[in-house]
Structure 1
Amino acid sequence: MNALGQLMLMRLRMLLRQPEVLFWTFLFPLVTSVMLGLAFRNDTLGPVRVAVAEGPGAQALVEKLKDVPELSAGIESEAAARRRLARGQLALVLLPGETPEALVDPSQQDGRTARLLVARALAAAPPDADASLKSTPVSEPGNRYIDFLIPGLLGLSLMSNSLWVVAGSLVSMRGGRLLKRLSATPMRRSHFFLSFMLARSVFALVEVLFFCAFARWLFGVPMFGSYATLTLVGLVGSLCFAALGVLVSIRARSEESMGGLVNLVSMPMMFLSGVFFASDNFPSWLQPVIALLPLTAVNDSLRAVMLDGAGLLSLATPMAVLAAWTVLPLVLALRLFRWT
């Protein structure tokens, strides 16, 4: 074999020995296809989901809508229905009254279909019933897709930065033989790991505040809850993902293998945990697993504070999930860590 062939063969062997190359070439397309296939699977189209706001005449409207098999209608409070409309869980909210009013998010594809189906249901009502329908696009802050998206992007940023920064720093120190030198000191491993986690949390504080200011200034994203509660959620989330980053660094022996492991940890959560679309799109059998993911807990908590005005006490369950994902990886890292 000539020199060019030998060089090409050498380069191919080097590529195959890099985990990140194998991840992006084979595993990433596979994971992406499976996740998006589950979220937007080509099942038989179900009924379009519509909510009728509580009030006089609500039950009568529901009875009319039930005559259209393509609609699934129920009665909810107006505030809850508006929130579900903003999160893409409803296609339309119908406000009862002398002239029923349909609230539709213009950014949702099912909105126009739902409005036409509701109008058809009301038009098919008895002649003495009011068949008119007023349509109102909903785009005020708190009920837009961008309001749903921003907390998810903040959670994704906290996860990605914590994993890459903490794991990358530890792997780099191992590659530079700095960890071997530190083994000669009386420093505790727990203090060593906590220093990385706490330093990352300080940076996360700036990250949360900057993200909120940017979203408020550019998109007018509201804040119905407390900035202190939101900041605390961000700090707890960054500690959790930093602990995962510490555990990843234990397994990774090089920066190349570290990249593959970080992607393996973060990519499924990026799709499953409701960053870009509601996690309700996934099958019901997968929902218990999704609820236990740390990014799901962070995203749900951030949205609850920003859009629903939730207090810290109402976030007990997601905070417990984050606490478990912080303690367990840290305990495993302390048991498995070696200075050399």
Structure 2
Amino acid sequence: MNSTKQFSKMFSAQVKMMFREKQVWFWNIFFPIILMVLFMVIFGGGSPDSFKATIAVVDSQPNANSSMLLEQLRQIPVFEFKEEQPITKEAGNTLIEKQDIDALIILPESDSSTTMQLVVNKANEQGATTQAIAGILDQFIQQTNWTVAKATPTFSLTRQSISQGSEDLNYADFLLTGMIGLTLAQGGLFGMVSLVEMRRKGLMKRLRMTPAKMGLYGLAGVIVKLLLGVFQIIILTLIGVFGFGANLHINVLSLVIAFFAGALVFNAMGYLFSSFSKSIEAYMGISNITSMLMMFLSGVFIPLEIMPNWLQPIAQILPLTYFVEGMRDGLIYNSGIVSTSFWIGIGIMVTWGVVSFLIGSQVYKSKSAVEAA
């Protein structure tokens, strides 16, 4: 049998083996969709312009100051009043304890008092909503002081947001591309479970005793996984665009390069894990630990710049960091392959892939020698 015919039969067999397993359908198709939709809903819902905070106000002894402040608070569009009229401090504390409101604002109790008090739930003290409310109130008080003093501020601040890519990019785009990168990486890390099962049942040893070329068998498996990866990108992208309004600005060349580099490196890592795993449980455990660590350290959900300083060097050596950035470059940033950072990332991924494959190959060879003996 010539190599072409042998390869076509191996390719067909790999496809049948992959889709015959129900776990493949779940972990490679349904689970990524569920995971992406879940994270898009949790982390990608809404923009800064849609921020709202539910508050209540205590005005225990109405006076000129409290009336003025209350009227101005009602003009802040991001504040939604739980009760239209001021409530008692006891009722407000109860709402805070039950987390029915984001903040309680206590107005000055007399004309001579100039202090407002902000009350929040201790569990949310460092939360983004609490920090936003505190910032809004600080600005509110500064403007009120200028108004009372009848003074005009000398300096002012304007804000502009720019992006590495097009101006219509938002967090949903960032999260979508991160989830696509994570999904493809997981496909490679978990995709070699069949090798573990074949070795456990002695099928690998029997296959080596046949005229079949092991190189063609491996090539067929890699191509099947690459095709599955293309299918995953299409499905997840369609969901992101039509389900969550994501914006794409595709650079085909950088997307293809990043996709192939990432797919090969994570398949090589899965190959390495399979080489020293004696059972499916051991293989899945190693892959899960690796996937979870990289998931939260590789900029999938948040930019690396806002991570703690001591974690950033770790993130900068992980292959998923550069795979995610490469996918973002190809899908939304559209900066092309002229970027030096793009090729540095590709180089780091290739290094991971080559080292993983070489170590895995050596482990398989040593085990084959032991089995033969």
- CA 1:133–1:310: 2 relative to 1, 3 Å: closer
Q: In the alignment, which residue of structure 1 is the partner of 2:270?
A: 245
CA distance in 2 between partners of 1:172 and 1:258 (Å): 10
Residue type of the alignment partner of 1:292: I
**How is 1:88-237 mapped onto 2 (pairs within 5 angstroms)?**
109=129, 110-118=131-139, 127-129=151-153, 142-165=168-191, 167-185=192-210, 191-237=216-262
CA distance in 2 between partners of 1:111 and 1:225 (Å): 34
Q: CA deviation at 1:251?
A: 0.9
1:239–1:326 CA contact under 8 A, matched in 2: yes
Query: Which shifted more, 208-217 or 245-254?
Result: 208-217
1:233–1:302 CA contact under 8 A, matched in 2: yes
Q: CA deviation at 1:322?
A: 1.1
CA RMSD of aligned residues (A): 3.4
Query: Which shifted more, 304-313 or 182-191?
Result: 182-191
Residue type of the alignment partner of 1:325: W
Q: In the alignment, which residue of structure 1 is the partner of 2:355?
A: 328
* Count of residues in correspondence between the two structures: 232
Q: CA deviation at 1:129?
A: 3.4
Q: CA deviation at 1:202?
A: 2.1
SS across alignment from 2:311: helix
SS across alignment from 2:233: helix
Structure with higher Rg: it is: 2
CA distance in 2 between partners of 1:325 and 1:177 (Å): 29
Q: In the alignment, which residue of structure 2 is the partner of 1:259?
A: 284
Percent of aligned positions that are identical = 27
SS across alignment from 1:285: coil
CA distance in 1 between partners of 2:141 and 2:316 (Å): 38
Normalised TM-score (structure 2): 0.54
Q: Gaps spanning 5+ residues in structure 1: where?
A: 1-106
CA distance in 2 between partners of 1:145 and 1:204 (Å): 23
CA distance in 1 between partners of 2:250 and 2:140 (Å): 37
Normalised TM-score (structure 1): 0.59
Q: Gaps spanning 5+ residues in structure 2: where?
A: 1-126
- CA 1:141–1:216: 2 relative to 1, 3 Å: farther
1:246–1:330 CA contact under 8 A, matched in 2: yes
CA distance in 1 between partners of 2:203 and 2:304 (Å): 42
- CA 1:238–1:111: 2 relative to 1, 3 Å: farther
Q: In the alignment, which residue of structure 2 is the partner of 1:317?
A: 344
Question: For each residue in 1:256-309, what CA deviation from the matched residue of structure 2 results, as whole angstroms up to 9, or x when unmatched?
Answer: 111111112211101111222233343212212211101111112222333322
Q: CA deviation at 1:321?
A: 1.3
Question: For each residue in 1:80-102, what CA deviation from the matched residue of structure 2 results, as whole angstroms up to 9, or x when unmatched?
Answer: xxxxxxxxxxxxxxxxxxxxxxx
Q: In the alignment, which residue of structure 2 is the partner of 1:278?
A: 303
